[in-house]
Structure 1
Amino acid sequence: MIDLHIHTNYSGGQSNLKEVLQIAQRRKVSIIAITDNNTCEAYKELNNILIAKYYEGKIIPGCEFSTIVNNVPIELIGYNIDTDLAQEEISKLYLSKLDYNIYETNLIIQKCLEMGLKIDVSRIQYDVNKEKGKRAVFKEITRHIENKKYISDDAWNNCRTFLLTYTANPNSDFFVDFSSLIPSYKQVVELIRKCGGKVFMPHIFKYNENSKGVLETLVNEGLLDGIEGYYPYYSQEQQKFALEFAKEHNLYISGGSDSHGTPDSEIGIGRGNLNIPEKIISPWIDKTRMITQGGLDYEERY
């Protein structure tokens, strides 16, 4: 069993790196990939611990990058990357997490005001270092029952659904253009390949009615090496489609839980029914980049 899509507390996960390794060890996950959003800091930490103390499996270096395709904010994962070089390139292309959080939140607030939603901006408060401002905006929107006429029941009750359905959807009147905050998909693909990596599209159905167009754009432009064929939120029909699509278009297959340390998707097992076979990585894995033992910190070595 493998899990190639895991987040640590470097990108919103609830578990720190050592805890992630321990959970993977306990669940007997033979190969993992840490794929934090727009950061490879976890791999710097790996260089300073005795990995075998926490995890006896192998680690594929990776990172999940934010970008935009067809005006839709999406993510791409780079595997087999040189994480030191990737971190250097990230610092050139991406805003700091703090700045992005502020600018993103302000753009969403501006759109809400433009569309006539009732909100009290003074009540939108959040810890910019620890909390996502867009969640605070959502909380303020749903505080006013008058706004419900603009928003579906599913989105009204779930922040993630609201963001995907409205602010991140070019077909919505509430769409917010984040392109000034995020590098283009061609820049991200160039970054991944510069770092020696392969480009995968994770959770290919995440973007609702825009998913097909995003996937086709990336495939038609020859920018994808693979897609996420196994994902805890895929239906059986979606997983079948993903695997057949990969075969038809000569794409590699990856898979992962997208775990953030919460019960809705756990390392290795996802929602309880995930069991990704190790054999899927044999066509594309770069064994020279796999991490089996990090640099040893003096105190941990002795």
Structure 2
Amino acid sequence: MKPIHALSMRADLHIHTTASDGCWSPRQLIDELTRREIGLFAVTDHDSVDNVVDTAVLAQKAGLHFLTGVEISATHKGGSFHILGYGIDPACEALRRLLIHNQTLMEEADHESIRKLIADGLPVDFAEYHAYRHDPARGGWKSLNFLIDKGLCSDVKDFFARWFTPERGISFPEFPSLQAVGDAITAAGGVPVLAHPGSEFHGCSLEETLQEFAGGVIEGVECYHPGHDAATTRQALAWCLQHNLIVTGGSDCHGDFVSGRQLGFPAIEGRQLLLGRLWDRVDTCL
């Protein structure tokens, strides 16, 4: 049953923690949500559900409404896409196998990117990189923070602008297909939702991105996102209404790691989200 009082609550259904590249622990996230009076939320870490159960327990104690989630990397026609899985059972074996596969791909890509940069003249030693220990509380990932600590990179934007580029022969690995990702989310009892369709991350226009997903794989679209302007949000909402799809939204907050993404912004209330059957999974997914 839809939690009626949640309709008037502030909502944020796209948040990252230390389980992926965010810098807040579940406890820190709950404290921030409470401070900012956000009553309905989801943790959607990249290819990880490691903090979902701990967050759910803390959310219940704090009186917050929680929806289990994950953000999974997929490859389609050579491009990278992110699919949000909501209402998932984090213990589902099929889902966990896919997430471990993606984590392994990214770890290998991390290592290979440093090897390529060294071959290209970067003044670092691979053995030093290999021994480097990434601190999750900083946000980000190993190669990024290693380069920052070596004084070769200023932040995540600089990393993708200068080092992790196709011109240097460095790109994201080939992740599972959209169908494989959608199947894993469905197997976990969840609902697949296309993340930030208007983002430059996909490398194509909003219209092209939505067209690729017409009639298959996803059951919803993240219409509200800090990377969307008002026109993009309106177009995505209209597309969801036309195709009878779920509407979600969130800040894509990584704690203090990614500047410009603040918890609870864009400002959304539960009534603006067309969650359909996902309302039945709020607070009941574990």
Is the structural similarity TM-score above 0.5?
Answer: yes
CA apart distance, 1:98:
7.5
Equivalents in 2 of 1:91, 1:50: separation in Å?
22
CA distance in 2, matches of 1:177, 1:166: 13
Are 1:197 and 2:205 counterparts? no
1:163 counterpart residue number: 160
Give RMSD over aligned pairs.
Answer: 3.5
**2:28 paired residue number:** 19
Change (3 A) 1:292 1:21: farther
Give the conservation status (yes or no) of the 8 Å contact 1:80–1:285. no
Structure 1 CA distance, aligned partners of 2:27 and 2:15?
13
Q: Does 1:267 pair with 2:260?
A: no
| Structure 1 counterpart of 2:91 | 84
| Partner Cα separation in structure 2 for residue 209 and residue 71 of structure 1 | 10
Contact 2:105 2:173 in 1 (8 A): no
Q: Deviations over 1:155-193 (max 9, x none)?
A: x86533653798476xx56343511xx333221110011
Which residue, out of 212, 226, 235, partners 2:205?
Answer: 212
Q: Could you tell me which residue of structure 1 aligns to residue 179 of structure 2?
A: 186
Equivalent residue, structure 2, for 1:42: 51
Structure 2 unpaired stretches of 5+: 1-9
Question: What is aligned with 1:257?
Answer: 251
TM-score by length of 1: 0.73
Aligned residue pair count: 269
- CA gap of 1:101–1:283, structure 2 versus 1, over 3 A, is closer
Q: 1:192 to 1:217 in 2, by over 3 A?
A: farther
- More off after superposition, 6-15 vs 91-100: 91-100
| TM-score (norm: length of structure 2) | 0.76
Query: Residue 42 and residue 24 in structure 1: after superposition, are their counterparts in 2 closer, same or farther (change >3 A)?
Result: same
CA offsets per residue over residues 103-150 of structure 1, 9 Å max, x none? 112322344467x4544444646315746233157559984xxxxxxx
CA distance, structure 2, for counterparts of residue 71 and residue 53 of structure 1: 44
Of structures 1 and 2, the larger Rg is shown by: 1
Which of 156, 171, 178 pairs up with 1:176? 171
| Alignment of structure 1 residues 94-243 onto 2, 5 Å | 94-95=99-100, 99-100=104-105, 102-112=107-117, 116=120, 118-122=122-126, 124=129, 126-128=132-134, 130=136, 132-135=141-144, 139=148, 143=152, 159-160=156-157, 162-163=159-160, 167=164, 174-176=169-171, 178-179=173-174, 182-208=175-201, 210-212=203-205, 215-216=209-210, 218-220=212-214, 222-243=216-237
1:54-69 alignment runs, 5 A limit? 54=62, 56-69=63-76
Structure 1: tracts of 5 or more residues without a match: 144-155, 295-302
Aligned-partner residue type, residue 67 of structure 1:
A
